[in-house]
Amino acid sequence: MGETGRNALAATALCLALAAACSAHPVRDGTTAGARASAVPAPSAPPLPAGFGYRELTRWLDADSPVRLSVVSVAPDARVRVTGVQGPGMSRGRTVRDLAESVGALAAVNGTYFDIAGGRDHSGYEGDPIGLYAEHGTVLSEALAGRPALLIGRAHGRLLARVAEVSTTGRLRAADGAGRELDGVDRAPGRILGCGGVGGDRIAATGRLRGTPYNGLCTDADEVVSFTREWGTDTPAGPPGSREALLSANGTVLAVRSPAGGPLPEAGSVLYGIGTGADWLRAHAGTGTRVAASMRVTTVDGQDVAGPVETAVGGSARLLRDGVPDEDSLRLLRPSREPRTAAGVTTDGTLLLVTIDGRRSGASVGATPREAARLLRTLGAVDALNLDGGGSTTAVFRGRLRNSPRAAWNAAPTERRVADAIAVLPD
Q: Which pLDDT does position 148 carry in this prediction?
A: 96
How do residues 32-83 score in pLDDT, each as one tens digit? 333 333 455 555 678 999 999 999 999 999 999 999 999 999 999 999 999 9
pLDDT > 90: what percent of the chain? 79
3-state secondary structure string, 15-37?
A: HHHHHHCCCCCEEECCEECCCCC
Say what the pLDDT of residue 362 is. Answer: 93
Higher confidence at residue 368 or residue 36? 368
The CA distance from 319 to 258, in Å, is: 46
Q: Which CATH number fits domain 167-299: 3.30.980, 1.20.1070, 1.10.3470, 2.60.120?
A: 2.60.120
Confidence of residue 309 (pLDDT cuts 50, 70, 90): very high
Mean of the per-residue pLDDT values of the chain: 89
The pairing of strands 80-86 and 26-28 is unpaired
The number of beta carbons lying within 10 Å of the beta carbon of residue 396 is: 28
Position 235 pLDDT exceeds 60 = yes
pLDDT at residue 88, as a whole number: 87
What are the backbone angles phi and psi of residue 367, rounded to the nearest 5°? -150, 150
Confidence grade of residue 229 (pLDDT, cut at 50, 70, 90):
very high
375 SS3 class:
helix
Give residue limits of the domains in the chain.
Answer: 11-117+315-348+361-426, 167-299
Is it the case that residue 301 has pLDDT exceeding 80? yes
Give Rg (Cα) of the chain.
Answer: 22
User: From CA 155, how far away is CA 139, in angstroms rounded?
Assistant: 19
Which is more confidently placed, 77 or 200? Answer: 77
pLDDT tens-digit series, residues 114-156:
999 888 899 889 889 999 999 999 999 999 988 999 999 999 9
Any alpha helices (H) in 184-315, and if so which ranges? Answer: 276-284
pTM greater than the 0.85 cutoff: yes
